Amino acid sequence: MVKLAPSVLGADFSHLADEIRSAEQSGADLLHLDIMDGHFVPNISFGPGIVKTINKLTGMYLDVHLMLSEPEKYFESFAEAGADAITFHIEAHPEDPSPLAERIHKLGLQAGISLNPDATPEQVLPYLHKFDLLLVMSVFPGFGGQSFISSTLDTVRAAREYIDKHSLKTEIMVDGGIGPDNAAEVARAGADILVMGSAFFNSDNRSGLADLTHGL
Ligand code: DX5
Ligand code: ZN
């Protein structure tokens, strides 16, 4: 079964509590929370305060995607805010990211590593055994509502092959430009979890999207 992670960046923030409740009631599996610093990416989103608010609104698993130049400075803040997983980018830490995975694990959270569409799988594959999640970006991070970059499916396939070959438990999450039209293709390439921002929150049939994803 493929899991669905609505990205709260696509929600209507003037009705945040209703949006979170609706995501939970749709049958979606976890919430994806995009944190942007205006430096690593050319946009600013929200910080630990909003994550804490969301944590009070729901018991859902909170998957925090850090698009920050110095992610390690904020691990504690997001852990205290209620994150269940923290993912950071290999582009922010091109050297061995394993010590940072250990720091996240010591906080009692799952650890994820992400890579941009122009990265090569080889940049992260050697470290995957240290991570619970691999977040493959299928758009350049920074904004919701962008078009899916299909060449990133090669990275998903390469990661799937590596994870299966080495019997790793790392789950593959794919993020950016995913909706009902391409969900099956992304799942076929080897994704375990699909992130959907605008496609989910703009839909009037959110539980249909959860059912569709679960059926892949
Ligand atoms: C992009 C974010 C994504 C984004 C996905 O920087 O990391 O999680 O919210 O939104 P859609 O599904 O609209 O591309
Ligand atoms: Zn994201």
**170-197 pLDDT, tens per residue?**
999 999 999 999 999 999 999 999 999 9
Q: Which of 34, 37, 63, 132 is catalytic?
A: 34
| pLDDT tens for each residue of 68-86 | 999 999 999 999 999 999 9
Nearest to 93 by CA among 84, 101, 105: 101
Helix, strand or coil, per DSSP, at residue 63: strand
The pTM score is 0.98
The environment of the single-atom ion ligand 2, i.e. residues with CB closer than 5 A, is 34, 65, 175
Q: How far apart are CA 43 and CA 36, in angstroms?
A: 6
% of the chain with per-residue pLDDT over 70: 100
Q: Which residues of the chain have pLDDT under 70?
A: none
Q: What is the four-CA torsion angle of 137, 7, 99, 102, rounded to 10 degrees? A: -140
Query: What's the chain's average pLDDT?
Result: 98
Number of domains in the chain: 1
Contact 203, 209 (CB under 8 A): yes
pLDDT of residue 29: 98
Nearest to 203 by CA among 181, 187, 188, 186: 181
Measured CA to CA in angstroms, residue 33 lies from 45, 85, 89, 92 at distances of 10, 10, 14, 18
Contact 62, 69 (CB under 8 A): no
Active site residue 34: yes
- Residue 180 belongs to domain with CATH number: 3.20.20.70
> Could you identify the atom of ligand 1 that is nearest to the CA of residue 41?
6
Q: Which of 29, 37, 63, 175 is catalytic?
A: 175
Domain of residue 85: give its range: 4-8+11-214
pLDDT of residue 98: 97
pLDDT of residue 94: 87
